[in-house]
Structure 1
C-alpha cells in the first residue's frame, strides 16, 4: 500500500485524489494557485527491474512542469523502506514537501541490481501484508493523517 492509498491529508488548502487535468491524471493535486501535485510512482512507472522512468512518465512530467505545475514524486522503493512506521512516513512526506519541486526533466533513480529490485518488491509485499493484518485486527481503515499546511 502506497501513500496514495494510506494517506488522508488534512490541509488548509483543498486537495483531490486522482485529479484529471487535461489529458492527464494527477495522483494527488493540491487545489490552490500554486498548482502543487504529487505522483506516487509504483514499479510499473519504471522499465522492468530498473529505476529508469518510462518515456510516458517523463513526457507527462515535463508537460505538466512546463504548464506551471510544481511536482513532487514518491518513489515506491523509498516508501517501502519506511515499512509500517507511520511517524516516519509523515516525516518523509513533510520533508519532501519542504523541498523544491522536481525539475521539468525527470531524472532516473540510482541503478539497482536485479537482486535489490526483487528484495524491494518482497519488502513491498511484506509491508502490504502487515498493514492489511493491522487493519483487520483493528477493523478500521488504515490512514495516515497529517497537516501539511
Structure 2
C-alpha cells in the first residue's frame, strides 16, 4: 500500500476549522472576479458580433417618405381593413410625389380574416384590430420576419 495515502497524511493536510474563514474569503473573491470577467467578456463579444453581422450602410433607417421611395428593395403594406377613411384619403389625395408612389406600390393584406374577427368579437366583446395604430413595417429582401 505504498501508493495510497495513510490516515496520518490525510489528518495532517486536511483543512482545519480555524483556516476555513481564509479559504472562504478567497473563494468569494475568486468567484466574484470570475463573474465580473464573464460579464465583461459577454458584453464585448456581443458588441463584436453585432458589428460583424450588421451592415451599417444597408440598415440605415429611412427618415422621410422620399428616403423610403428612393431606397432599393423595400416594400410597404397595410392591413386592408384599415385601408379606408383617413388613411386612404391621405395617400390618394396627397400632392407629394413620394407619397403618391407609396400609394401606388402599397400592398394590401388581411391581417385577420372575417372569421377571426367574429371569434374575436364573440370572445372579447370587441374587435381589437380597429384600434391599431398605423405604422410602417420596414423590411428589406434579405431579412425574414
Give the structure-1-normalised TM-score.
Answer: 0.26
**RCO comparison, higher one (Cα < 8 Å, 6+):** 1
Q: Which structure has the bigger radius of gyration? A: 2
Kindly indicate which of the two structures has a greater share of residues assigned to strand: 1
Kindly indicate which of the two structures has a greater share of residues assigned to helix: 2
Give the structure-2-normalised TM-score.
Answer: 0.26
